[in-house]
Structures are given as C-alpha cells and as structure tokens.
C-alpha cells in the first residue's frame, strides 16, 4: 500500500532542502528551495512525532517520509513537504500542469465543481468527505451519493467498499493522501472518472498510474511564498488561495 507514496518521494530531488515548516489550525506548509507546499491541517495526535529535531535544513525527501506517520499532524507535514516540490511553479510546469500566464486571470474554470457540471448530468456521482459544495453545485443534476458526511442523506465511510465501484464520477478529498485512505479509494474507483480535489494533492503524474483522472490542486506563486507561510501561521489575515492559483492537471486533455 506504500507504493504510491514511495514513488512520490523517490521523484523528489535528493538535494532539495527545507527552508521552513509550519502547522497552523487550518493549513500546514513546508517551504523548500523551490517554493511552498500546502496540506490541509489534521489535528489528531494518535502517536508522537518521529523525533524532536527541527525539520528546517533537512532534505525535503527526508521530511516527506513523514507522510507515512500515524500522527496526522506529522503526516500532513510530510504531505506538504511532497508538495513543496511537485506543487511549485517550476516543477508543476515541468510535469505538464497548465498554469495561467496572468496571475490575475480568473481561474474558476479550474474549480472541479464548475468544470464537471455538464459532464455529470444524469450520471452516478459520489463524493467522499464533507461535501456541502458538491451537494449545492451538483445535487440537482445527477444521482449523487455522499459518503462520510454528517448531513442528512449521507452514507458512512464504510459504504465506500460497496458504493464507489458503481459510480461514473467520484470526487475524492485531497486530505485522503495524508490519512492514507487514498490508495484504497483509488482501487475502488477503477470504473469511474476520478477527480481529487484540494490543495493537498501532489501534482504528479504518478497518481494517474493509480487511477486518478484529474488533480484539481493548487500552486503557490513564487512571489507569494513568504506570505503563504505567514498565512499558515496566522500572522497574516487573508485567504491562502489569494497566494496562488487553482489548477487542473488531467491525465488526458479530453476529460
């Protein structure tokens, strides 16, 4: 089950170093020599941290290994370290991620809940995790199943094993990469178009080999790297999304 993570970690340059790291209430961030990687915050301490040493000055690969931790804060830092390579402008461009040439250009069409509205009409669609936006944007146009949400009409996460293989489209949460649910969820969705949503998802074609079709992620712009880290620490009060752009990295352009 670790193969996906090992491939992501192995793809990180061995000489790339960590410049900064922070775990805030909503977001976790790691700043490498290339830029900032972000992960959604996870405030569950099932196990202690691997060690008491500083992450700053260590190779990004070494910190990225922490994504395997069962301390979810540490795992989120590991995922952010992975993203401090793949989700930087230079690495994303090298992988083939389409980036906007104008930082002020409207990026709403890279929002998966907008982009897929026509494609999902009349189809069987599932979302995993709290999915208020999915319910609002798509609930009236498709046969929607929501798993792991507390709103009325939802299903428990245990139902994923039974319901995900029946779907045409599945929207997976990016935080599943930190919680280690992602490999199994991708296995269950082999018959569906799979969109992984959110800033935590690494923008790497490695994920296409495991069944993902669209990585609806986020890239922090070079000039906003320091600001992004301040926002994560709550030292600056504005939206993290103002520091970069939403992106859509598709396995095939036809999707």
Task: Look at residue 38 and tell me whether its pLDDT is greater than 70.
Answer: yes
Q: Residue 184: what are its φ and ψ, rounded to 5°?
A: -70, -40
Mean pLDDT score of the chain: 91
Q: What is the mean pLDDT of residues 220-237?
A: 95
* Predicted model pTM: 0.92
- Residue ranges and CATH numbers for the domains of the chain are 3-95 (3.30.390.100), 108-220+241-250 (3.40.50.11590)
Burial 19-50 (b: 16+ CB within 10 A, else e): bbbbbbeebbbbbbebbbbbbbbbeeeeeeee
The pLDDT tens digits of the residues spanning 148-201 come to 877 777 899 999 999 999 999 999 999 899 999 999 999 999 999 999 999 999
pLDDT-based confidence at 36, cuts 50/70/90? very high
Long-range contacts (CB closer than 8 Å, 24 or more residues apart) made by 156-165: 157/128, 160/128, 160/185, 160/188, 161/188, 163/126, 164/126, 164/128, 164/188, 164/189, 164/192, 165/189, 165/190, 165/191
pLDDT tens, position by position, 117-135: 999 999 999 999 877 888 8
The answer to whether 148 and 185 are in contact (CB under 8 A) is no
As a whole number of Å, the end-to-end CA separation of the chain is 27
CA–CA separation, 149 vs 251, rounded Å? Answer: 28
């Amino acid at each position: 089950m670790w193969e996906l993570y090992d491939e992501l970690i192995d793809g990180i340059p061995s000489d790339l170093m960590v410049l900064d790291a922070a775990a805030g209430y909503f977001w976790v961030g790691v700043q490498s020599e290339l830029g900032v990687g972000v992960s959604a915050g996870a405030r569950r301490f099932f196990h202690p941290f691997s060690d008491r040493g500083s992450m700053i000055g260590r190779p990004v690969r070494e910190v990225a290994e922490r994504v395997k931790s069962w301390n979810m804060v540490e795992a989120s830092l590991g995922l952010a370290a992975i993203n401090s390579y793949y989700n930087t402008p230079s690495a994303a461009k090298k992988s083939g991620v389409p980036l906007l040439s104008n930082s002020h250009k409207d990026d709403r069409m890279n929002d998966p809940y907008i982009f897929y509205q026509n494609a999902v009409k009349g189809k069987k669609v599932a979302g995993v995790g709290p999915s208020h936006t999915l319910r609002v944007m798509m609930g009236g146009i498709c046969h929607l199943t929501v798993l792991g949400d507390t709103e009325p009409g939802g299903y428990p996460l245990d139902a994923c094993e039974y319901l995900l293989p029946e779907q045409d489209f599945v929207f997976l949460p990016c935080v599943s990469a930190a919680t280690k649910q992602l490999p199994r969820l991708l296995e269950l969705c082999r018959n569906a178009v799979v969109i992984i949503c959110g800033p935590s998802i690494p923008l790497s074609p490695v994920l296409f080999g495991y069944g993902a079709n669209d990585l609806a992620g986020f890239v922090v712009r070079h000039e906003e790297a320091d600001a992004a880290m301040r926002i994560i620490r709550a030292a600056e009060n504005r939206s993290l999304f103002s520091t970069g752009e939403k992106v859509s990295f598709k396995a095939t352009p036809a999707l």
